[in-house]
């Protein structure tokens, strides 16, 4: 689903000037990547098999995915452009997802012991 949202043609994305003023696009990127990171880590955390090292690997993988998707937008997606600030927003979302996942991991560890 995320890949689809990142490559749909630019003309299919609704335009609203007020959204540009609040950097809505960047907030969407942060939310998408925070969700991806957290939801990927959640099964491992809930089963209490997640290590900090695993969460860092998930975090890093989605940062790489975000960078690669910017190149996909630049070279293959119709009416989409490369935006370095989108990569910053993606990485920020990944970091937020990592922090949330790690917080849950620590909560499960403390409950267990």
Q: What is the pLDDT of residues 21-59, one digit of tens each?
A: 678 889 999 999 999 999 999 999 999 999 999 999 999
**Predicted local confidence at residue 2, as pLDDT:** 81
Question: What's the whole-model pTM score?
Answer: 0.88
DSSP string over the chain: -HHHHHHS-GGGS---HHHHHTTHHHHHHHHHHHHHHHHHHHHHHHTT---HHHHHHHHHHHHHHHHHHHHHHHHTSTT----HHHHHHHHHHHHHHHHHHHHHHHHHHHHH-
């Amino acid at each position: 689903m995320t890949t689809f949202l990142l490559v749909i043609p630019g003309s299919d994305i609704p335009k609203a000037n007020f959204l540009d003023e609040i950097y809505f696009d960047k907030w969407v990127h942060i939310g998408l990547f925070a969700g991806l990171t957290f939801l990927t880590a959640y099964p491992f955390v809930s089963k209490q098999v997640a290590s900090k090292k695993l969460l860092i690997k998930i975090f890093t993988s989605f940062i790489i995915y975000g960078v690669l998707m910017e190149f996909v937008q630049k070279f293959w997606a119709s009416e989409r452009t490369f935006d370095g600030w989108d990569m910053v927003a993606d990485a920020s979302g990944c970091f937020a997802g990592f922090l949330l996942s790690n917080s849950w991991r620590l909560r499960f560890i403390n409950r267990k012991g």
